[in-house]
Amino acid sequence: MTTPADTLLPAVLLRIPTVYRPQEDTRLLAAALAEASMPAGARVLDLCTGTGALALCAARLGAESVAAVDISRRACGCARLNARVHRLPVDAHRGGLEKALDLAPFDVVVSNPPYVPCGRATEGMRSRRWDAGPDGRFFMDPLCERGAELLRPGGFMLIVQSEFTGEDQTLRQLRAGGLKAAVVARSRIPFGPVLRRRASYLCDQGLCQSDCTSEELVVIRADKPSRPR
Ligand SMILES: C[S@@+](CC[C@H](N)C(=O)[O-])C[C@H]1O[C@@H](n2cnc3c(N)ncnc32)[C@H](O)[C@@H]1O
């Protein structure tokens, strides 16, 4: 079945092995971005871009320029190729949060970062796409703490995460950084292969019941006031 978000994301995306395949979290964030009424001519950051799916979506929604940042060389290569194929104003940059801060400020930031809790160290390139430390906040904590520095006054950020990654913690950290934060979208989806393998760990951590077979994805919006509060 085609959803409105499917029409926002390019139907054809080049993807090489180990680069994240856009999924439900990508689609939920794309839909939230479309709903958010991005200002015309916005300067946008897609942090943790993977194939560049959300960067391309932002460009299609009218962004003047989009910076697509990812730690993975392969992901940056894919994002660059996809931007060229679709002739959209997206520039790929290899790096993490520090690279994004170098490129700041932005009118709009979107991020679908790694957020899955995992009990052991991440295992190379494959798991780096989603694994985010014991509480799933390896990337989320610094992003929330420094999110305000990425934004221009009046700008906003949209982040997607799982219910297992601490929604309240994300809201608290963003607010502590001077942003106005709220949940703007939710979607419950069945566990995919990664969470099926991770279910007993989540259960041991008290994050879900032993019979749990689905997770709620959450999109959080954080706005930077036009004038300092
Ligand atoms: C869940 S995927 C999302 C990809 C894409 N935004 C999407 O929705 O289809 C997370 C991405 O974050 C990247 N990543 C992991 N750690 C990172 C870091 N420290 N800094 C920047 N990107 C990172 C991974 O390479 C991966 O492409």
Q: What is the pLDDT of residues 24-64, one digit of tens each?
A: 999 999 999 999 989 989 999 999 999 999 999 999 999 99
- Decide if 98 is inside a domain: yes
What is the reported pTM? 0.94
Domain that holds residue 167: 25-223
Q: How many domains does the chain have?
A: 1
Ligand 1 site residues (CB inside 6 A) read: 20, 22, 26, 48-51, 53-54, 70-72, 75, 96, 112-114, 128-130, 139
For the domain that residue 149 is a member of, what is the CATH number? 3.40.50.150
What pLDDT shows up at residue 80? 98
CA of 199 to the centre of ligand 1 (A): 22
Would you state the torsion angle of the CA atoms of residues 100, 5, 115, 91, taken in this order, to the nearest 10 degrees?
-20
- Decide if 15 is inside a domain: no
- Decide if 14 is inside a domain: no
Amino acid at 212: C
- Decide if 82 is inside a domain: yes
Q: How far apart are CA 178 and CA 165, in angstroms?
A: 21
